[in-house]
Structure 1
Amino acid sequence: MTEIHLLPLEEPDREQFIKDNQEAFRYGALEEFGLRDDHFEEEDEIISRSTIEQSINEGTAYRIVQNGKNVGGAVIKTEYDHGELELLFVSPAVHSKGIGYAAWCEIEDMHPEVTVWETITPYFEKRNIHFYVNRCGFHIVEYFSEHHCDPDDKDGKMADMFRFEKVLPVSSEAVQEQIKRVKYYEDIMQKAQDMDNVSPELHEMLKKLRDYYVSDAWKRDFSSDEAGLLPKELKRGVLSQDGIYDLLEKYDM
């Protein structure tokens, strides 16, 4: 496999990281559509500076380094057993040399606790779609359009995007993250059950429980419990079929 290193992005390199990311994305669009293209987020750019900066600020950014030279970059976010590949780009000058795949393998190795990875890419990025599906083992699970919008997409930036998922076997590290998550929501549920008066604090607790109850994360935790992967002594009322539901019904949530 191609040898690369992932090094944390340093602040002095932030500006060049943004420019390199934009160059890589611009190359992909121009390769597909030529100079006449209407897919730009901002003038002459497929991906805007604000989008990249938001990803860097909210995630963990890395430089892809080969032989001492920056050849790309990546931004990821992880929470418990779930990961998001926010950005992954390789300099057009070194395309088709296995650098992107090597970087992805390194990311997976860095986070054995993650069992579900997600990413998105525009419908026209054939190189990316091939890379994620045929090389990295992702599956296309959703397509966002005017008829099927991401409920969290307030600005319409997700239109014409594919969403990909890669599901990995549950590792011992993943189980530990699931235990942490179950404990977190179990604590919230216990506190909510002990409160007598409706308050903004209670409403916020119930919202967190509702979001968890309808999430894929709850389904993964429930499946692990059914498979006997969670310790018997773990308090798990939050995983019962009626625990959260009855609490939400009580307050008409």
Structure 2
Amino acid sequence: MTAEITLAPALQEELMIIKKEIQDAFMKGLHDCFPDAEDPLKMGIVPSEEDYKQSLFGKQSVVRQLMQDGKRIGGVVLQIDEKSGRNEVDFFYTLSSAHGKGIGTKAWFAIEAAFPETKVWELYTPYFEKRNIHFYVNKCGFKIVEFNHKGYAGSNEEAEDPIFDEFEFFRFEKVMTKVSRDV
């Protein structure tokens, strides 16, 4: 049985460590899906420095460490909109040493419990990340609500984010109900 997962605020000096861990998680996902890719950074999926800056230091940013037995096993970067209750998951990861143990699912439910006023959670994941798709849909209760690609930027049509011109993503949502909050 695994110990409880808790969330701890990330201190300013820990943000660059968390950023590096996020980058490592992205690179592992890319290498797992595209083992023969010579330079996965050129694939256009790796977040830019500006993406990290906006996520980690934005006005609505909330960065938490995922903790188990006093050790960081991952992290989450959220955009919390207290007014609308529509919150976004920018980055959510567990260290590779924590994979396959049910820790991610427990961590997700700890995140939900920490933000009980959330009405809707939203996130994006690349089309090729089958492990992420399985996790969010089958373990956490998200629904795929959009497929963004070069010809369809979906709800981001007004945004000037070129990533949607270059790469394909699924957009997920989880509408929180009384039942899902009690799980």
* Residues 143 and 163 in structure 1, CA contact (< 8 A), matched pair in contact too: yes
Q: For 1:89, which of 85, 89, 93 is the aligned residue?
A: 93
Aligned to 1:141: 145
Residue aligned with 1:155, SS: coil
Is contact 2:87–2:122 with CA below 8 Å preserved after alignment?
A: yes
- Matched ranges for 1:95-244 at <5 A: 95-149=99-153, 150-158=156-164, 159-169=167-177
Runs of 4+ in 1 over 3 A off after TM superposition: none
**Cα RMSD (Å):** 2.2
Which aligned pairs between 1:45-84 and structure 2 lie closer than 5 A?
A: 46-58=46-58, 59-79=61-81, 80-84=84-88
1:21 aligns to 2:22 (yes or no): yes
Task: Determine the C-alpha separation between the residues in 2 that align with 1:53 and 1:41.
Answer: 20
Where structure 1 has 5 or more consecutive residues not aligned to the other structure, the ranges are: 172-253
CA deviation after TM superposition for structure 1 residue 38, in Å: 6.0
Q: Give the aligned partner of residue 41 of structure 2.
A: 40
Change (3 A) 1:167 1:69: same
For structure 2, list consecutive stretches of 5 or more residues without a partner in the other structure.
Answer: none
User: What is the DSSP-based 3-state SS (H/G/I as helix, E as strand, rest coil) of the residue aligned with 2:163?
Assistant: coil
Structure 2 residue identity aligned to 1:91: L
Contact 2:125 2:170 in 1 (8 A): yes
Closer, same or farther: CA 134–20 of 1 in aligned 2, 3 Å? same
- Secondary structure at 2:121 match in 1: strand
Task: Provide the secondary structure at the position in 1 that maps to 2:160.
Answer: coil
| Contact 2:122 2:174 (C-alpha < 8 Å) held by counterparts | yes
1:23-59 per-residue CA deviation (whole Å, 9 max, x = no partner) reads 011101101111416653689x833333222111121
Displacement of 1:117 after TM fit?
0.9
1:88 touches 1:100 (CA, 8 Å); kept in 2? no
Cα distance change on mapping 1:152 and 1:56 into 2, 3 Å: farther
Q: TM-score, normalised by structure 1?
A: 0.62
Which secondary structure state, in structure 2, belongs to the residue aligned with residue 40 of structure 1? Answer: helix
8 Å CA contact 1:4–1:102 kept in 2: the answer is yes
Tell me what 2:31 maps to.
30
Contact 2:27-2:40 at 8 Å conserved across structures: no
TM-score by length of 2: 0.84
Equivalent pairs counted in the alignment come to 170
After superposition, the Cα gap between the structure-2 partners of 1:53 and 1:99, relative to the gap in structure 1 and judged at 3 Å, is farther
Contact 1:17–1:73 (Cα < 8 Å) also in 2: yes
Give yes or no for contact 1:74–1:87 (8 Å, CA) kept in 2. yes
SS in 2 for 1:61: strand
Q: Secondary structure at the match of 1:103?
A: helix
Give the greater-gyration-radius structure (CA).
1
Identify, as 1 or 2, the structure richer in strand: 2
